[in-house]
């Protein structure tokens, strides 16, 4: 098929904008001709999310694509380690198979840390042999985030062999080093790791940039680092990429990488630097065949109304119009149910914490951040058991092993703000056990059992109600249309806030409270964990 588009072409390679007649033929940019016409719209390369876990949208890849194209996204660098922690390589294959059913550029990585640590229970293990097999495949374009940064720094043999495998296959290696600076930072990145999406401070990111690291500015549903890091774009335009990392369904319905672009432009950054961060820099770093509106490229581009409002009018992928004026032309694809959920229902007594001291360690959740702090406070003890202190916003948190029956791990957390009830989820990075926060054992148990009964989902429970969004695919995704998922998610989110939570995204924040590789204090199904010393610690302060 051959057709022509006339618009003002924003050429991010030559850094100029001019009226052009673009001919698309056989999915390629056949020719570009400068013309002397007054044209109202602009065309430019489509956006690419430089690091995302599709599973966190609770949607299968095909459904994610159906929504993302409406926002001008044409591709993603996708780390499938969420489903890999549940199903191993079979999970990676599931994502690739579903992704291939729609016109969208999905590029998957080989999950480097499944499980991320040995301090939690996962549903699968991807070892060195598996990594080498994955990296040998054309569908796998990089070694996904190396979360085990202590393993790199202290020369863990298995970790270094995975990095060596990526080098052998000449594929980039993604980083994951929150707060890492100084000699440890140098050792980590000198091993061959080239990116980081976990920077949460300006000084930290600046040190990594000066060391040659590519920094991904992340703005997701829970972690929001855009405002802190975007000033770095001015001095390091070739080292900046945009990513969401994790995007819950309601947020994906609203926006994607286009939000990064609009905000960066509003902040006064150079148009071409901004657009290169949303496309060119990603294409170059990962050596992708995604088109950049040059003759001979794949016809992957978007049309906008103007450079001020930046509203997406049309999205083309391989010359196919996949979205126009907020309507997606990608159709939903039915995906088969696969899962790994083997635990039995719990009892309220499973969540009790026998008192063992007067003072407790508490996870301090931070709104808009994945990092947490450790604080210490007096325990509220009733009849020999430590309980939630609702008045002080010290609530009970628990993690339940979803893969087999095991004792429940319990601790305390601050800043979730619930005045009654409980919220639970088995979208819990990275092993996807069930994580729950609540005000009393009965509601905590009720919320957990709702997830167990559904064999995956997010839930809310009070004395008089029980809400659940079922996620039957690996316990973390659903076949439902994105709009329906977003509606159900919004209902749960709104209800959690009505119960007292002040967090912008309580369920997304909850999903990271079991992520041990993010300091400072987290909870796995095996116990309370100090992410700085990388060892278990006691709930009660001795």
d(CA 68, CA 193): 28
Which of 282, 319, 275, 272 has its CA nearest to residue 297? 319
Q: If you search the block for the tokens 């960066």, which residue do you land on?
A: 264
Query: pLDDT for 18-31, tens place per residue?
Result: 999 999 999 999 99
Residues 100 and 184 reside in one and the same domain: yes
d(CA 461, CA 509): 18
* Degrees, nearest 5: CA angle 191-197-198: 90
Domain annotation covers residue 17: no
Domain boundaries, position 160: 47-284
Residues 248 and 128 reside in one and the same domain: yes
Domain annotation covers residue 12: no
Domain annotation covers residue 330: no
d(CA 430, CA 216): 20
Domain annotation covers residue 167: yes
Residues with Cβ within 8 Å of 207's Cβ and at least 6 positions away in sequence, in order, are: 181, 185
At residue 420, φ and ψ (nearest 5 deg) are: -160, 165
Whole-number pLDDT of residue 337 = 97
CATH of the domain at 227: 3.20.20.140
Residues with Cβ within 8 Å of 7's Cβ and at least 6 positions away in sequence, in order, are: 19, 20, 22, 39, 41, 42, 43, 303
Residues 77 and 207 reside in one and the same domain: yes
Residues 508 and 385 reside in one and the same domain: yes
Residues 89 and 232 reside in one and the same domain: yes
Residue at which a domain ends, from 284, 312, 340? 284
Q: How many domains does the chain have?
A: 2
Query: Do strands 73-78 and 47-52 pair parallel, antiparallel, or not at all (unpaired)?
Result: parallel
Residues 480 and 389 reside in one and the same domain: yes
Per-residue HEC secondary structure of 275-312 comes to HHHHHHHHHHHHCCCCCCCCCCCECCEEEECCCCCCCE
Residues 276 and 386 reside in one and the same domain: no
Domain annotation covers residue 178: yes
Other Cβ atoms within 10 Å of 309 Cβ, number: 8
Domain annotation covers residue 29: no
Domain annotation covers residue 314: no
Taking phi over 0 as left and psi of -120 to 50 as alpha, with beta for the rest, 190 belongs to: alpha
Domain annotation covers residue 518: yes
Residues 148 and 271 reside in one and the same domain: yes
Residues 489 and 366 reside in one and the same domain: yes
Whole-number pLDDT of residue 116 = 84
Residues 84 and 177 reside in one and the same domain: yes
d(CA 411, CA 186): 35
Residue at which a domain ends, from 267, 284, 301? 284
What residues form DSSP beta bridges with 302?
44, 315
Q: Which two tokens stand for residue 174?
A: 């993604």
Query: pLDDT for 499-517, tens place per residue?
Result: 999 999 999 899 999 999 8
Whole-number pLDDT of residue 306 = 95
pLDDT, averaged in runs of 10, over the chain (542 residues): 96 98 98 96 98 96 98 98 97 98 98 92 96 97 94 94 98 95 97 96 96 96 90 98 94 97 98 98 98 98 96 98 98 95 97 96 93 96 97 98 97 98 95 98 98 98 98 97 96 98 93 92 97 93 90
Whole-number pLDDT of residue 113 = 92
d(CA 293, CA 29): 7
Q: Which two tokens stand for residue 392?
A: 């002080």
Query: pLDDT for 3-21, tens place per residue?
Result: 999 999 999 999 999 999 9
Residues 53 and 150 reside in one and the same domain: yes
Residues 452 and 355 reside in one and the same domain: yes
Residue at which a domain ends, from 239, 269, 284? 284
């Amino acid at each position: 098929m051959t057709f022509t588009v006339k618009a003002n072409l924003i050429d991010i390679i030559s850094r100029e904008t001019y009226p052009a007649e673009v001919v698309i033929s056989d999915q390629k940019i056949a020719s570009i001709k400068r013309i002397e016409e007054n044209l109202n719209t602009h065309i430019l390369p489509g956006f690419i999310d430089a690091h995302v876990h599709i599973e966190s949208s609770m949607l299968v890849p095909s459904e994610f694509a159906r929504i993302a194209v409406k926002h001008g996204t044409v591709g993603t660098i996708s780390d499938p380690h969420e489903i890999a922690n549940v199903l191993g390589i079979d999970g990676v294959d599931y994502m690739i198979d579903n992704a291939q059913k729609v016109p969208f550029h999905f590029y998957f990585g080989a999950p480097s840390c499944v499980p991320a640590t040995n301090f939690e229970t996962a549903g699968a293990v991807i070892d060195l042999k598996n990594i080498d097999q994955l990296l040998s495949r054309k569908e796998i374009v990089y070694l996904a985030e190396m979360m085990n940064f202590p393993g790199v720094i202290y020369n863990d043999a298995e970790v270094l062999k995975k990095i060596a495998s990526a080098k052998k296959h000449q594929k980039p290696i993604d980083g994951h080093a929150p707060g890492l600076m100084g000699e440890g930072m140098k050792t980590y990145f000198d091993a061959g790791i080239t990116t980081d999406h976990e920077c949460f401070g300006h000084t930290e990111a600046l040190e990594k940039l000066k060391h040659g690291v590519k920094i991904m500015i992340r703005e997701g549903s829970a972690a929001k680092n855009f405002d802190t890091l975007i000033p770095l774009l001015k001095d390091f335009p070739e080292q900046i990429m945009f990513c969401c990392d994790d995007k819950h369904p309601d947020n994906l319905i609203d926006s994607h990488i286009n939000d990064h672009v609009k905000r960066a432009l509003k902040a006064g950054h150079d148009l071409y630097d901004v657009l290169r961060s949303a496309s060119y820099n990603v294409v170059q770093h990962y050596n992708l065949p995604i088109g950049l509106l040059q003759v001979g490229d794949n016809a992957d581009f978007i049309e906008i109304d103007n450079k001020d409002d930046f509203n997406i009018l049309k999205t083309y992928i391989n010359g196919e119009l996949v979205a126009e004026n907020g309507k997606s032309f990608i159709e939903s694809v039915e995906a088969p149910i696969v899962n790994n959920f083997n635990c039995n229902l719990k009892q309220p007594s499973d969540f009790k914490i026998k008192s063992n001291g007067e003072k407790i360690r508490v996870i301090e959740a931070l709104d808009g951040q994945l990092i947490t702090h450790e604080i210490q406070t007096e325990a509220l003890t009733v009849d020999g058991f430590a309980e939630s202190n609702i008045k002080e916003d010290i609530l009970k948190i628990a993690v339940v092993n979803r893969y087999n029956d095991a004792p429940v791990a319990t601790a305390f957390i601050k800043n979730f703000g619930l005045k009654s009830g409980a919220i639970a989820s088995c979208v819990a990075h990275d092993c996807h056990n069930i994580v729950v926060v609540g005000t009393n054992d009965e509601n905590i148990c009720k919320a957990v059992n709702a997830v167990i009964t559904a064999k995956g989902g997010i839930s809310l429970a009070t004395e008089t109600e029980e809400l659940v969004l079922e996620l039957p695919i690996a316990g973390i995704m659903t076949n439902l249309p994105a709009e329906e998922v977003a509606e159900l998610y919004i209902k749960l989110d709104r209800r959690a806030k009505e119960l007292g939570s002040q967090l912008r995204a309580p369920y997304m924040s909850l999903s990271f409270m079991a992520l041990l590789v993010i300091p400072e204090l987290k909870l796995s199904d095996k116990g309370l964990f100090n992410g700085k010393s990388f060892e278990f610690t006691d709930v009660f302060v001795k």
